[in-house]
Structure 1
């Protein structure tokens, strides 16, 4: 039977696309304006005299240092999350014991704990450990708060792997490590891509932990560095929008590379 066109869904998608496109257009348009042009015409008007001076000003500031710090934090958080969550999710899926199930439920309680509620205890622990104003002090708690969600997502993806495949591998003489490395990991790549993108976004956009756990310019990340374009009495909006635009490019590239696996992982079809 031939299906008709869903005009209502198309109209709703168009409205949603417009809602998303307007802020992006305002950001790009503002980054190409001078401060005078922005003050006179606002963020939605086309720039009268497009300029790249704002980009050059951002690059000439401490922004490259903030970008490097954020990249270090993001790569380290993603590496920690993948190294811990992949074997943990495999154990949760393959081990049917009551102890593992109980530990998994307790572990997921972290989903109900907001970051703001533990900011002071985390600050105390990081200070006692001598990691205050150090990127390691930002990496560890950021990765810790990514673990519950990532474990939940990846364990769901690994549950989609057929038990018959594990049985066939066992009949061929494959042990647990071989089943993990040659079966569970390759067939869960969509779930792994999901946790990579999720943890990368949490680390890249993280604001509270860098704010509480760092102090010097050498350890600032991009969310904190954006305040450099704000003074006591004014905000350099074109430069700020240029910095925001530059900071979104790496995240956009990661999403474009992993978008298909990300959607499949979020839909729970990572193992199929």
Structure 2
């Protein structure tokens, strides 16, 4: 005689108890609880960032004698805009114009080459394409200081020495590896279904490039444009080695006009730095959302 299990008809299976409102309330209260360690860290970081900016801006309104006597953190007793006027009189406008020309050309070259190269790398999945992509990535490991002498000799042989084009071409070349890496990560996020849908509509590679890839890669394109602009605007080594004439100087070399043989006009120099930073700050404010979203897509799918 075998034992039989008791009937289970009518018996309800116990269900897990749902999280009540008390648990959610406790979680919200834990999140809203003060965190003194994080507050101290944020305050320390604020000091690290804010104090140099304060010293920079205050020094631009000080007289040179007051700056030397009272230091950079003292509020000026007699604020003046003469430092900014002196910066413009020393040729800052011409330096900024040369830098704008170099930056615009570098951004145009980098965007044109990086977008087409990224599209070819993503869509042409062959051994040759992958090999070329790895060759581009090798540029990330080569600093421009290591190849400045070969670059100098190449510029001399091409007859481009002491010209703005001599600064544009190497700057664009060294910005391309990072830009291609960013764009390939952004373009890989485009679904293959969209490509197949356009192929069914009879679209060719050129049409897909302009109608699909470019519009959906705007954040990545904005990111590489800002990155290339920063590289061109802040470049120092290539302008120093590959140019010589005063009328070919960019802003990084033009700042030397405020440095004499026995003294340095620090308030005038800092005023020139502030004026030279304003264009890049405006570009960042305009493209900051696209810059962040483009950098988030570097890892691809």
Sort the TM-score into its range (normalised by shorter chain): over 0.9
**One of 218, 235, 241 as aligned partner of 2:247:** 218
Structure 1 residue 269: deviation in Å? 7.1
Shift of 1:17: 2.9
* Structure 2 match to 1:267: 296
The answer to whether the 8 Å contact 1:58/1:239 transfers is: yes
Counterpart-to-counterpart distance in 2, 1:89 and 1:18: 41
Asked if 1:173 is matched to 2:222, the reply is no
Q: Secondary structure of 1:61's partner?
A: helix
- Whether the 8 Å contact between 2:183 and 2:298 is mirrored in structure 1 is no
Q: What's the TM-score once normalised by structure 1's chain length?
A: 0.96
1:131 aligns with 2:160: yes
CA-to-aligned-CA distance 1:3-56 (integer Å, 9 cap, x gap):
404734454334323311211111110011000110111111111111000000
Which 5+ residue runs of structure 2 have no aligned equivalent? 1-23
- Gapped regions of structure 1 (runs ≥ 5): none
Please name the residue that 1:205 is paired with. 234
Matched, 1:248 2:265: no
Q: Contact 2:181–2:298 at 8 Å: present in 1 too?
A: no
Check whether the contact 1:158–1:270 (CA below 8 A) recurs between aligned residues.
no
Picking from 263, 279, 283, the partner of 1:234 is 263
Question: What's the CA shift string for 1:226-265, capped at 9, x where partnerless?
Answer: 1110111111000000000000000000000000010111
Looking at structure 1, the residues matched to 298 and 131 of structure 2 have their Cα atoms a distance apart, in angstroms, of 25
Deviation per CA, 1:91-131, whole angstroms, max 9, x where unpaired?
10111111100111012101110100111111111111111
Q: SS of the counterpart of 1:62? A: helix
Query: Which one of 104, 123, 133 corresponds to residue 133 of structure 2?
Result: 104
Provide the C-alpha distance between the structure 2 equivalents of 1:11 and 1:197, rounded to a whole number of angstroms.
33
Between the aligned partners of 1:269 and 1:169, the Cα distance in structure 2 is: 25
Q: Distance in 2 between matches of 1:119 and 1:109?
A: 17
- Which gives a bigger RCO, structure 1 or 2 (Cα 8 Å, sep 6+)? 1
Determine which structure has more spread, i.e. the larger CA radius of gyration: 2
Q: What is aligned with 1:84?
A: 113
CA RMSD of aligned residues (A): 1.6
Q: Does 1:141 align with 2:170?
A: yes
